[in-house]
Structure 1
Amino acid sequence: MNKTVELVKLWGDFEEQYPNASLEDFFRHRLALPAELEIPRGDEGELIPDLNGRLMILLRRIGKFHMAYSNKALEGTELDQIEEFGILVTIFNQGNPIKSEAIYNNIIELSSGTNMLIRMKKKGLVSEYADKEDKRVKRLKVTQKGEATLQIAKEKVLKVAHMMVHDLSDNDKQLCIQLLKPVDTRFSGMFQKQKNKPFDEIYRENMQ
């Protein structure tokens, strides 16, 4: 195949998969592709994950490292864990969301998120009030103390993020975001709807 035709075809396939991507994104994507994927081989009988499993194991391990270092960095900030920081950021950014919005936005179980909010209210970081239109609905607001805590915690959390990925170039980081953002977008719209369904049904819906 003519190289120009091959390049146009590759761009067309890439643009179809990532319609909002730029030419720079395309070139980063092509440069990041290995010449040949090395398939790991273990001893006979050893359980070796496939490519999907290897990717998810890598993401899970990185996530655990990030959580552990973030929790360490937040010591002394009034926040006990990174999930509390996420909830506080959500309340601040969304501007007075209801409880469930703040909790589900951070992919936390309702009971766990409720307990976190109780602790944060006791510390004076957030306040709760009834919705003007529906008194049964409770809305959340970051207090003045909460905003001060948020600014201190933000600096520490950003330091952790910088520490975690400082070996990657900015282009590498942009490529990672570009490749993984569609996965986040897809499941963000489906996760809560599928929580109470059996896994086989969830699998079928996601693989359609």
Structure 2
Amino acid sequence: MKYTLVKQLIELAEQYESENPENSSQNLVDFTAWLNGQLMQKKPGDTKMAGRLITPYETVESVLGKLITFLYRYARIYSKKSLENTPLITPDDFTYLAIVFSRGSMTKMEVIESHMQEKTTGMEILKRLLKNGLIEQYDDETDKRSKRLVVTQKGQQVLMGIFPSMGYVASLISGNLTTEEKMQLVYLLNKLHLFHQNIYQESRYQHPEDILKERLPDKYNT
């Protein structure tokens, strides 16, 4: 056997890694979306249609930001409805509880940082979960100043009851996109996420103008 297909996949994987050096996770979902774009030679979406969405008073960047904000608000509306009659008040309550459950245990700051939130906001969410008996805390063995969190039996029962409903929310949010469009969107949004995650970790307190000048000088000068 000549393993021609395997050799092609290896070459494509090397190309993907060279074009995406900032993506430390290098996961299969991102690679599949990238590979789909390479093989199909398609740009995601209809650019002519997208152009008609931009008024003379807007830019493609401002419209992109607006649409991302709208999608976030739609997701919160659907999630809040699904959380009615549960101990969880906000969608963040659900995601905090879910990530601690999936990881087994986490420190408070690990949970907060994973959600890109300020410490005060994150602590309020954790207080609610602790007060409702959905999580419990204990001293970290390596750092006595930190508290580790685990999901209680009650918290697990709440999660198991909510997962089906939140699955409907996830399906609804992805709307009428085809599987190919979903994969393309995952790839593009993750590319943006990695770009902004680096800023959040290193430059979050800088003014946006200074960040743009430093990270995207070509866009700053236009």
Match of 2:200 in 1: 191
Tell me the secondary structure at the aligned position of residue 127 of structure 1.
strand
**Pairing of 1:81-160 with structure 2 (within 5 A):** 81-160=90-169
Is 1:205 equivalent to 2:205 in the alignment? no
Match of 1:38 in 2: 51
**Pairing of 1:9-48 with structure 2 (within 5 A):** 17=19, 20-21=31-32, 23-28=35-40, 30=42, 32-34=44-46, 36=48, 38-39=51-52, 48=57
Is 1:182 equivalent to 2:191 in the alignment? yes
CA distance in structure 2 between the aligned counterparts of 1:199 and 1:29, rounded to whole angstroms: 34
Structure 1 residue 105 displacement after superposition: 0.7
Structure 1 residue 41 displacement after superposition: 6.9
CA distance in structure 2 between the aligned counterparts of 1:159 and 1:35, rounded to whole angstroms: 30
RMSD: 2.5
Cα deviations by residue, 1:111-161 (Å, 9 ceiling, x for unpaired): 111011111101100001111122111111111111111122222211111
Match of 1:79 in 2: 88
CA distance in structure 1 between the aligned counterparts of 2:86 and 2:54, rounded to whole angstroms: 46
Unpaired runs of at least 5, structure 2: 1-11, 22-30, 218-222
**Pairing of 1:61-72 with structure 2 (within 5 A):** 61-72=70-81
Change (3 A) 1:32 1:119: closer
Identical aligned pairs, as a percentage? 25
1:86 partner letter: T
Structure 1 residue 25 displacement after superposition: 3.0
Change (3 A) 1:48 1:75: same
Structure 1 residue 18 displacement after superposition: 5.7
Unpaired runs of at least 5, structure 1: 1-10
Q: Which moved more, 1:143-152 or 1:32-41?
A: 32-41
Counting matched residue pairs gives: 192
The 8 Å contact of residues 54 and 60 in structure 2, kept in 1 or not, is answered as: no
CA distance in structure 2 between the aligned counterparts of 1:32 and 1:189, rounded to whole angstroms: 25
Tell me the secondary structure at the aligned position of residue 79 of structure 1.
coil
The 8 Å contact of residues 28 and 171 in structure 1, kept in 2 or not, is answered as: no
| Greater length-normalized contact order (CA 8 Å, ≥ 6 residues apart) | 2
1:193 partner letter: E
The 8 Å contact of residues 28 and 175 in structure 1, kept in 2 or not, is answered as: no
Q: Which moved more, 1:72-81 or 1:31-40?
A: 31-40
- TM-score (normalised: structure 1): 0.81
Structure 1 residue 39 displacement after superposition: 4.9
CA distance in structure 2 between the aligned counterparts of 1:41 and 1:24, rounded to whole angstroms: 28
CA distance in structure 2 between the aligned counterparts of 1:35 and 1:161, rounded to whole angstroms: 26
